[in-house]
Amino acid sequence: MLRWLNSLMAGLIGLVLAAPILVVAGVSLNAKRSLDFPPNGLSLAWYAEIFTDPGWRGALIASLVVAALSAALAVAIAFPLAWFIWRWRAPWARAFEVLGMAPFILPPVITALGFLSFWSTAGQYGEPWTVVVSHAIFFVTLPLVTLSLGFGAVDRSFVEAASTMGADDHTVLRTVVMPLVRPYMISGFAFAFVLSLNEYIVAYMVAGFTLETLPIKIFNALRYGYTPTMAAVTVLFVLLTAAVFGLIARFGDLPRLLGAWIKPD
């Protein structure tokens, strides 16, 4: 009886979580330019429009480029920091780790406003590349967390063995540490990539009037009425996001990345 109730609860929660996406997926198949559910006739035309309409295609490309570059920059900032904290006994370096965590914990509008003040003071307001830097800082938390976990999982006796055999720091990093932390680095990149793809407020405040990423494009389009193309873009985004996390789960240890591990005694 209780087992049955538990499954019912989980099923119900799953259904409510999926419901908005399912309705949007249905709407995206409408044959006519209307938001009906169940769909009024079936068509994939709205999916084609994402790739043929210059506005939507441009926004898609802008989003992908910003996400890839900013995730790479976030990893480039997080890796040396996480390595340094792991390699050296330097408690003061933790202060930078806290700085790296802060943008993620504080309400996003604060970071967005900080960047708006910064880039307009620096005279760079509206430059597309400022979005890349802003997103890299905003999402540096994710590679920082995954890489800290990764370095923490490296068995120090491997490192001892390598350095006893005469390997210097650089060789140890390249031949021993790097292969062990690579999955964590890739997960950190993937997390930052997906979140940058979906990010709205920072991108909007920093360069909303010059660079249209997909979330900004959807928001701008919302004001002129809803179209099935927006629904198609949403479905595309959900699938892309789920695929990335599916890959992380396939090649990495997702429960561990999310903090569920038993401390070895």
Q: Scanning residues 74 to 133, which ones bind other proteins (CB under 8 A)? A: 76-78, 80-81, 83-84, 87-90, 93, 96, 99-100, 102-103, 105-118, 121, 133
Query: Whole-angstrom Cα distance, residue 44 to residue 232?
Result: 9
Residues 25, 235 contacting (CB under 8 angstroms): yes
Q: Which of residues 238-257 bind other proteins (CB under 8 A)?
A: 238, 241-242, 245-246, 249, 254-255
Determine, following the binding rule CB under 8 A, whether residue 48 of this chain makes contact with other proteins.
Answer: no
The answer to the question of residue 43 lying near other proteins (CB under 8 A) is no
Q: Report CA 106 to chain centroid distance, whole Å.
A: 17
Residues that bind other proteins (rule: CB under 8 A) add up to a total of: 94
Name beta bridge partners: 42.
30
Given a contact cutoff of 8 angstroms between Cβ atoms, the answer to whether 230 and 222 are in contact is: yes
- CA dihedral sign, ordered 124, 126, 127, 131: positive
Count CB neighbours of 29 within 10 A.
Answer: 22
For other proteins, what does the binding mask look like between residues 49 and 78, x meaning CB under 8 A? ---------------------------xxx
CB of 163 vs other proteins, minimal distance in Å: 4
> 89: which DSSP letter?
-
Q: Is 165 in the site for other proteins (CB under 8 A)?
A: no
Under rule CB under 8 A, residue 15 binds other proteins:
no
Q: Which of residues 189-218 bind other proteins (CB under 8 A)?
A: 194-195, 198-201, 204-205, 208, 215-216, 218
- Residue 42's φ and ψ, nearest 5 degrees, are -110, 140
What does the alpha-carbon distance between residue 46 and residue 193 come to, in Å, rounded to a whole number? Answer: 25
The answer to whether 190 touches 248, Cβ cutoff 8 Å, is yes
Query: What minimum distance in Å lies between the beta carbon of 57 and other proteins?
Result: 18
Q: Which two tokens stand for residue 126?
A: 């509206």
Nearer to other proteins, 10 or 178 (CB): 10
How near is the Cβ of 16 to other proteins at its closest, in Å?
8
Binds other proteins by CB under 8 A, chosen from 8, 15, 48, 258: 258
Our CB check for other proteins shows the closer of 57 and 256 to be 256
Name which position in 21, 45, 180, 186 contacts other proteins (CB under 8 A). Answer: 21
In degrees and rounded to multiples of 5, residue 77 shows phi and psi of -80, -40
| In the complex, least distance from residue 160 CB atom to other proteins, rounded to whole angstroms | 7
